[in-house]
Amino acid sequence: MIYTQTNNFPRIAYNKTGSGPSVMLIHGFPERNTLWRNLVPLLADRYMLITPDIPGTGESLPGSEQTSIEGMAHFIKAIIDNEKIEEIIIVGHSMGGYIALAFAALYPENVGGLSLVHSTANEDSDEKKHTRMKTVQLIRNGAKDMFLNQMVPNLFAAHFKEYHPDLLDEQITRGKEVNSESMMAFNIAMAERPDRKQILRDATFPIQWIIGKEDMVIPCKETLAQSTLSNTTFVSIYEECGHMSMLETPGKLAADLDRFFNYCFKI
Ligand code: MLT
């Protein structure tokens, strides 16, 4: 692990693996950087992969800017500056994609490509905002484990969860490791994030969409509609895949990321 810090983030922890052009892989909620463990060995011979624990997860301490998605984009920028990287491809899974979009809005000059893995540029619907506030209330009342037990099975495609109960258990355990304050902060940050479709329309860098046909968190229809907004777009739709292609179909995801990175870096 590599550690750095800023005034707002007392400990920023990330792994750096492999060599080649730089790629940042941002995990989602409620995970940590080990989410990418199946992908890193498949890509590290061609790219330098940075996998942070976002603030309040894994070895990164909670920070004062964790209550906004922009704040977490500043966290990503601190890593890029620490590594003295000028151009990087940002891959964001779900909430990691919301952070990646905020990063692209704040620091477009650093972005060589943006890969949105089961993510969306839409803001939350009123209904979803309401659900998030109920989740915050539940967690505040001590029902974090109950929330995780209900949430995690919805992340996977039906046939997958039947055959991989171990992976579901692991995701629940990962979620339990995130403290309640951080869980609440992430929900508030997600509920308050703005619509980012203008980033897609204005993008001068290529954009990739990885979409699970059985994704119950971010429906296929919603992301497909956004994929037509940018100039240069790569779209992959995975049949029989939910919200977690890095666990459900890692080989396929690695091949699609590799194709996208190759295009962005013109290797
Ligand atoms: C995630 O996987 O990061 C979250 O489920 C995203 C969300 O709730 O919008």
Q: What is the pLDDT of residues 213-223, one digit of tens each?
A: 999 999 999 99
Going from N- to C-terminal start, the domains of the chain cover 2-124+195-265
- What is the reported pLDDT for 103? 98
From the CA of 95, give the closest atom in ligand 1.
3
190 pLDDT more than 80: yes
- Sequence-distant (≥ 6) Cβ neighbours of residue 24 within 8 angstroms: 50, 51, 52, 76, 79, 80, 88, 89, 90, 91
* Centroid of ligand 1 to alpha carbon of 217 (angstroms): 7
**Mean pLDDT along residues 156-179:** 94
Q: Residue 2: which residues within 8 A CB-CB, separation 6 or more?
A: 13, 14, 15, 16, 82
- As a whole-number percent, the residues of the chain with pLDDT over 90 amount to 97
Contact between residue 29 and residue 95 where contact means Cβ atoms under 8 Å apart: yes
- Rounded CA-CA distance 98/92 in Å is 7
Residues with CB under 6 A from ligand 1: 28-29, 94-95, 190, 217
Using the predicted structure, report yes or no on whether residue 267 has a pLDDT greater than 80.
no
**What would be the CATH architecture of the domain defined by 2-124+195-265?**
3-Layer(aba) Sandwich (3.40)
Best mutation site among 217, 244, 247 for ligand 1 pocket (most ligand atoms within 8 Å of CB): 217
